[in-house]
Structure 1
Amino acid sequence: MFYTVARYVVNFIFWLFNGRYHVTGRQFLPSQTNYILVGPHRALWDMIYFALAAWPKKFTFMAKKELFKNPILRWILVNANAFSVDRENPGPSAIKTPVHRLKDSHLSLIMFPTGSRHSQEMKGGAIMISKLARVPLVPVIYQGPVTLKDFFNPFKRGQVHIAFGEPIQLGKKQRVDHATMDMLDDQLQTAFTKLDQHVNPNWVYVDPHPEKAK
């Protein structure tokens, strides 16, 4: 109930401040099975748009453990189907929890394969979870404002676009080794590029707060 009510409230707020968003590729979303939405992390709100665009499907997602320290925020996150993950020292639960939810509930999963808005390096968590839960990976991209200033700019309303791509399914007997990881990473990156080209080939993501080199 909370998830459904929150969906309508957030959808209205986003429309109020940024106008109508656009969606393409909904036909690629599996209707008979759970799945993992995977896309490059470009804005604080892109995950929310992914969930809105895939409605009525409901999702679970990872949230860093620090967010659960606040009791009010923890209540919101738990009721929004989030689960806690220690990003610095992820344990087995970072894999086991989403696999369990994908296999034993009606919830699909949203993940960012790079893990951060400030990294372009692909990580293998989504691939491993996909293999263990036996669900497909569905590539998705966000194009739109990436800063709060632009998001609330009345002259830039209606520029959010979400695009879904064709599902990628690992074979039952396919081993998840380094070669497979590299192949699937390339496949996902190619899918992201194709989706970006399809939506707007001139749109380029620029990290507004890049991490400083150590």
Structure 2
Amino acid sequence: MKARSETRRPSFFWLLAALVLPIMNLAVRFRFHHPERMPQSGAFVLAPNHYSEIDPVVIGVVSWKLGRAPRFLAKASLFKNPLLGWLLRTSGQIPVERAGSKSHAALRAAEELVEKGRLVVVYPEGSLTRDPDLWPMRGKTGAVRIALERGIPIIPVAHWGTQALMPRYGKKLSLFPRKTIDVIIGEPLDLGAYRGRPLDQSSLLKATAELMDAIAALLGEVRGEPAPPQRWDPTAHGQKETGRLED
């Protein structure tokens, strides 16, 4: 597959790009670090940090600019809006319930996309980070589970500057003045120690911790400061967790 061939093929994503890109290009200047690490073919899991409600739009634009059509695991409630739900379903996005068997069904749906060689974006934190300084918090196991079960790469990615476009828990965009968002693509996470072994909870949690450490290190690189040695754990701080994928 030639570079960017996925975005050059006619698809419904062209309509989405026509609607979203003009606004994002006006509001944001993307500064990419190691864009060559984004695979141009084949299935893989893209695992970004998550600290703003606008993150999916930002990562969707990043994926498109780097030559891949993004598919997300998105909150099921978003699909209840008639127009937005139609856009999400038509573009192949996957609804995810907060918990229970339907959450596991979303994992199976994501794996079907993997079988077709698609990029699947999974936020391993499951929801907006609760870390006071916007560092990645403790992750959930869904992202590494997909990668290990299907034998595909998982690529960590971090972005910084999105909070100026829409702050955590904010609902309004700040389009002007134009913002700069740094995006750094990581090397594929080395999961060699876990492949070919039973996917017990202990192994999944260890692999997920390594993924979150990799994302935090990337974020520290673009922020120009070291990441904290430990990930923020909402349960240890008496905060209720809500998320897209369960452990």
Instruction: Please tell me the residue identity of whatever aligns with 1:93.
Output: A
Q: Tell me what 2:197 maps to.
A: 174
In the TM superposition, 1:4-153 aligns within 5 A as: 4-16=14-26, 18-55=27-64, 56-91=67-102, 92-103=104-115, 105-119=116-130, 120-146=137-163, 147=167, 151-152=173-174
Unaligned runs of 5+ in 1: 205-210
- Secondary structure at the aligned position of 1:49 is classed as helix
| Pair 87,213 (structure 1): closer, same or farther in 2 beyond 3 Å | closer
Q: Of 174, 181, 186, which residue of structure 2 is paired with 1:165?
A: 186
Q: Tell me what 1:191 maps to.
A: 214
| Pair 166,65 (structure 1): closer, same or farther in 2 beyond 3 Å | same
| Pair 125,36 (structure 1): closer, same or farther in 2 beyond 3 Å | same
CA distance in 1, matches of 2:153, 2:110: 14
- Secondary structure at the aligned position of 2:189 is classed as coil
Contact 1:42 1:142 (C-alpha < 8 Å) held by counterparts: no
Instruction: Please tell me the residue identity of whatever aligns with 1:23.
Output: F
Unaligned runs of 5+ in 2: 1-10, 131-136, 228-236, 241-247
Shift of 1:73: 1.8
Contact 2:217 2:226 (C-alpha < 8 Å) held by counterparts: no
Q: Tell me what 2:4 maps to.
A: none
- Secondary structure at the aligned position of 1:9 is classed as helix
CA distance in 1, matches of 2:51, 2:122: 12
Contact 1:59 1:108 (C-alpha < 8 Å) held by counterparts: yes
Structure 2-normalised TM-score? 0.73
Instruction: Please tell me the residue identity of whatever aligns with 2:13.
Output: Y
Structure 1-normalised TM-score? 0.83
CA distance in 2, matches of 1:25, 1:174: 31
Shift of 1:203: 9.7
Contact 1:145 1:151 (C-alpha < 8 Å) held by counterparts: no
Instruction: Please tell me the residue identity of whatever aligns with 1:143.
Output: W
How many residue pairs get aligned? The number is 205
Instruction: Please tell me the residue identity of whatever aligns with 2:126.
Output: G
Deviations 1:53-89 (A, max 9, x none): 2332112111222222222221111122212111133
Shift of 1:153: 5.4
Contact 1:138 1:164 (C-alpha < 8 Å) held by counterparts: yes
| Pair 10,90 (structure 1): closer, same or farther in 2 beyond 3 Å | farther
Q: Of 9, 12, 20, which residue of structure 2 is paired with 1:2?
A: 12
Shift of 1:212: 8.1
| Pair 84,153 (structure 1): closer, same or farther in 2 beyond 3 Å | closer
Aligned structure 1 segments of 4 or more residues deviating by more than 6 angstroms: none
| Pair 122,152 (structure 1): closer, same or farther in 2 beyond 3 Å | same
Contact 2:139 2:209 (C-alpha < 8 Å) held by counterparts: no
CA distance in 2, matches of 1:54, 1:80: 14
Identity of matched residues, %: 23
